[in-house]
Amino acid sequence: MRKSHLVFLLPLAIALTGCSGGVSTPQESFVSGNGSVTFISKSDRVNAPALEGKTLLGTNFKYSVGKIGVVNVWASWCSPCRAEIPTLIEFANNYPDVQFMGILTRDNPVNAEALSRKLSIPYPTFIDDALLIGFKGSLPANAIPSTVIIDSSGKVAARISGAVTVNSLKNLLEKVASE
């Protein structure tokens, strides 16, 4: 190829490469929460969606209304998600009357299952993130991670947008349990 062709093709190749968006990965499109806590007064709550389906471990699980539920939306590639898992595990073990659940979103179930087994996560994680659509109209999971609290009558009571802290989760659980 002649040198004059290279002078023309090199800038063209660079320009075309810069225009391509490349392959989008889940990590590039997630929104990290800021830790804000939202609590809904009992009179303003709406029903949580039915939470049932296949879990990371290949079993089927169905949340039954009647006990408080904690739904954590997470992904194995999400650093804040991985950081909050020990807190969620501790709460799940210390609050046996509360049903903890996870919903995996924008992740490879194989990677998430490996992390779940490594950390011995004691609660089920749904692999169908279409369950999140059911929270529209209440407190949708607006970031990764997000944690939604469901009261014992099956209504959405609160949300933590971002990683849970011991204080934020404890305060919400105590507030909802005391109603």
**Nearest partner of 51 among 117, 170, 111, 134, judged by Cα:** 134
Residue 88: which domain range?
26-177
Alpha-carbon Rg for the chain, nearest whole angstrom, is 21
In angstroms, what CA-CA distances link 36 with 8, 142, 169? 53, 11, 12
Considering the domain boundaries, does residue 11 fall inside one? Answer: no
Considering the domain boundaries, does residue 140 fall inside one? Answer: yes
At residue 29 the predicted structure's pLDDT band, cuts being 50, 70 and 90, is: very low
At residue 34 the predicted structure's pLDDT band, cuts being 50, 70 and 90, is: low
Q: What is the DSSP string of 97-163?
A: TSEEEEEE-SS-HHHHHHHHHHHT--S-EES-GGGGGGGTTS----SSSEEEEE-TTSBEEEEEES-
Q: At what angle do helices 109-119 and 79-94 cross, to 10 degrees?
A: 50
- Reported as a single tens digit per residue, the pLDDT across 91-129 is 999 999 999 999 999 899 999 999 999 999 999 999 988
Q: pTM higher than 0.85, yes or no?
A: no
Considering the domain boundaries, does residue 66 fall inside one? Answer: yes
Q: What is the CATH number of the domain that holds 125?
A: 3.40.30.10
Q: How many domains does the chain divide into?
A: 1
Considering the domain boundaries, does residue 67 fall inside one? Answer: yes
The pLDDT assigned to 130 comes to 87
Considering the domain boundaries, does residue 48 fall inside one? Answer: yes
Considering the domain boundaries, does residue 79 fall inside one? Answer: yes
Find out whether the peptide bond into 49 is cis, omega within 30 degrees of 0.
Answer: no
Q: What is the mean pLDDT of residues 26-34?
A: 46
SS3 content of the chain, % helix, strand, coil (to 5): 40, 20, 40
Considering the domain boundaries, does residue 7 fall inside one? Answer: no
Contact 94, 86 (CB under 8 A): no
The pLDDT assigned to 26 comes to 42
The pLDDT assigned to 35 comes to 62
Considering the domain boundaries, does residue 90 fall inside one? Answer: yes
